[in-house]
Amino acid sequence: MNNQSILRAGLLGAACLAMAACTSNAVGGGPGGGPGGGPAATRAEYDAKFDELSNTTSLAPTSVELVGQGTFRGSTLLNITANDNTNTTGFALGDLEVQADFDNETIAGTATNFRGELGGEAFTLDGTLDSADGIAPSVLSEETQPIILPPGVPPIPGAPTEVVTNVFTLNMGGELVDPVSGSIGQVNLGLGGSFLGPIGGGQAQAAVGPATVVVTDQPGGAPILIGGGGTFVLERE
């Protein structure tokens, strides 16, 4: 791979968070976490978990007030291309750890251990992205909405009279270093979505949704462009 300028992408913005950038065929990646709610160790493992949570029939966006604190771990998968006009494509897989404080409606997290493949060739990127250095504040919010019955329909005794929805945006920033060329890029990663819980009521257990990324070039060279978007999955520890 030619060592050319590192990492550039367009910030897709908050509007993109309503649209998941789907990923394609499963390919093995570098070492990461393992199964059981942690980061995915391979691309195939990530794809399987993303499909599972995207199509689950046992979890749905939570409808009750979320309480307490929780740690969620998982992965983000980003689309990449070669920075040499060859249109060579690949992926970058990173490990996520997220802390949600539902009582105070705050969220924080990190992304690290980025690795992947470009044109079938493995690569790694050193460094950690942290919400303390995000391009914008991270936000977790809940909203209570009354359940409005059709005219003439009486309320069911004991049935809920309101639902509590949640939404979050997690912005993380920092420097990622290509260990081959030594080049540095300032990377800003955004995740957005809603926490999922058991259908019928229950606390947050997972989240799945789209990811956006923007990268600011710095002097140096590297062969990788991170292409604006991807997806993420999180599961509660």
Examine residue 153 and state whether it is found in any structural domain, yes or no. Answer: no
Examine residue 154 and state whether it is found in any structural domain, yes or no. Answer: no
- Range of 212's domain? 14-58+69-124+169-236
Considering only 105-114, 159-168, 221-230, which range has the smallest mean pLDDT? 221-230
Examine residue 161 and state whether it is found in any structural domain, yes or no. Answer: no
DSSP H or E segment with residue 234: strand 224-236
Examine residue 146 and state whether it is found in any structural domain, yes or no. Answer: no
Examine residue 86 and state whether it is found in any structural domain, yes or no. Answer: yes
Note the pLDDT tens digit of each residue in 96-115: 999 999 999 999 999 999 99
Examine residue 103 and state whether it is found in any structural domain, yes or no. Answer: yes
Averaged pLDDT, 112-140: 93
The DSSP annotation for 82-97 comes to: ETTSS--EEEEEEEEE
Examine residue 100 and state whether it is found in any structural domain, yes or no. Answer: yes
Q: Go through 152-190 and write b for each residue having 16 or more CB atoms within 10 A of its CB, e for each that does not.
A: eeeeeeeeeeebeebebbbbbbbbbbbeebebbbbbbbb
Note the pLDDT tens digit of each residue in 52-104: 999 999 999 998 999 999 999 999 999 887 666 677 788 999 999 999 999 99
Examine residue 230 and state whether it is found in any structural domain, yes or no. Answer: yes
pLDDT at residue 227 tops 90? no
What domain count does the chain have? Answer: 1
The DSSP annotation for 36-105 comes to: TTS--SSHHHHHHHHHHHHS-SSEEE--S---SEEEEEEEEEEEEEETTSS--EEEEEEEEEEEEETTTT
Averaged pLDDT, 142-168: 85
**0.85 surpassed by pTM:** no
